Copies of this chain bind each other. A is one copy, B any other.
Amino acid sequence: MTEALNPTAPLPRVIAFLAYPGMTLLDLVGPLQVMSALPRFGLPFEVVVVGATRGPYTTDTPLAVVPERTFDEVPGPDVLIVPGGEEPTIAAMADEQLIGYLRTAGATAEIVASVCTGALLLGEAGLLAGRKANTHWLHRGTLARFGATPVAERWVEDGPVITAAGVSAGIDMALHLVERLAGAQTARHVQLFLEYDPQPPQGPLDWTEFDIPSFAPIAEAQLRAALVDEPALLAKLLDD
């Protein structure tokens, strides 16, 4: 108790992860596992997962998840990290409460980050205008609709906004974020304990192997399916 009441102890900085129904689970859990090491290492950070309700929320896997906090309980996190997904993430662009939370919490956060199509949610909240950004390769072109400049890098840092590429890129981005918040040595220790020494069994991605432009109709179909009841938003994204 003495320690908790010590007026000289620094208040922990709050790192909040957004949760919502249908998200891609690894988008959330990759960086969540990385950042959760900070308080475990005794550093002054608090990591929370925040949703409109306490769920449980479905994900794009068979596992449902239970965020521990609601939006009104975490109004001003120091760091806000937003996972992506497929149709449910696109549909969430029309969720006024969720976008409103990103807009207000994002305005005061020291760092706002996204993984994968979480960048589309940041864009709809007005947080990408005039910035370089990335998202899942399938939806990279859409970023320009929010006034962002798409950049095909593993993660893109532009001032307070960091946007990662698809799904697994959240792990790399989070280790970068640990270095930014707590130094390179801490980041290397987190990497050691997560034994993050990737060896993709099929080798690195060979982008020349895939006919990437042929996937454009899939991206458009996802937007149309998810926003079938949101013609104004769809028109902004697709020139309808």
Contact = CB atoms under 8 A, between A and B. Distances in A.
Interface of A: 17, 19, 24-26, 28-30, 32-33, 36, 47-49, 56, 60-68, 116, 136-137, 154, 165-169, 171-172, 175-176, 179, 184, 187-188, 191-202, 204-205, 209-210
A1 B119 CA distance: 39
Contacts of A25: 29, 32-33
Contacts of A36: 60-62
B68 A66 contact: no
A68 to B, nearest CB: 5
16 contacts: A25-B29, A26-B30, A29-B63, A36-B60, A36-B62, A62-B68, A64-B68, A167-B194, A172-B199, A176-B201, A187-B201, A188-B209, A196-B198, A196-B200, A196-B205, A198-B200
A198 B198 contact: yes
Q: How often does this chain occur in the complex, in copies?
A: 2
A219 B200 CA distance: 28
A168 B194 contact: yes
Given A64-B65, A116-B195, A154-B199, 10 more contacts: A28-B63, A154-B197, A167-B194, A168-B196, A172-B200, A176-B201, A188-B209, A195-B205, A196-B200, A197-B204
B191 A205 contact: yes
A110 to B, nearest CB: 19
Contacts of A204: 197
